[in-house]
Amino acid sequence: MDIVVKGRNVEVPDHYRALVSEKLARLERYDRKVIRYDVELFHEPNRRQAKSCQRVEITGKGRGPAVRAEACAADFYAALDSAVTKLENRLRRTHDRRRVHYGRSRHSVRPQRERRIETRKLASLPPNASHARASRVPR
């Protein structure tokens, strides 16, 4: 998994890159198809938005749809934590959705044991009754 950290009008220190790779390593357990994470740092120069002047945007690219999260905070560390949490929630939801719905049929199917019991019951009935009963049993 490649992690690309870049800043727009911002210098990205090496310890921040290490923190980003450490945080994004947790996300690999949810989706192994993501090949590359792009992390972009923005600084809002407007003084009126000092409480949320640092913005972090994370985009995961790979096979399948791109996954994206964005967060704003007073500093880049808090924004990174918030963005990683958002991305983790999104990946966990898609992972759970994929795991629950994979391989299930649309209609519920009776277990094999119940079918065997019904077959034994039908075999014990008289011939005329079993024929009439067998025509009404849904499969």
Give residue 23's domain range. 2-89
pTM listed for this prediction:
0.66
* Residue 6 forms part of a structural domain: yes
Check residues 115 and 54 and name the one with the higher pLDDT.
Answer: 54
Residue 55 belongs to a domain: yes
Is the pLDDT at 23 greater than 70? The verdict is: yes
DSSP β-ladder status, 34-43 and 54-62: antiparallel
Round to whole Å and give the CA distance between 92 and 88: 6
Mean pLDDT (whole number) for 29-34: 80
**Claim to verify: residue 68 and residue 117 sit in the same structural domain:** no
Distance between CA 76 and CA 41 in Å, rounded? 8
What share of the chain has pLDDT > 90, as a percent? 36
Tell me which residue has tokens 């003084």: 47
**Is residue 119 within 8 Å of 112, Cβ to Cβ?**
no
Answer yes or no: do 24 and 62 share one domain.
Answer: yes
**3-class state of residue 127 by DSSP:** helix
Rounded mean pLDDT of 69-77? 92
| pLDDT at 95 (0 to 100) | 77
Residue type for position 71: A
Residue 77: how many CB atoms within 10 A of its CB? 13
Q: Are residues 78 and 114 in the same domain?
A: no
pLDDT per residue as tens digits for the range 82-124: 999 999 999 888 877 766 555 555 555 555 556 666 666 666 6
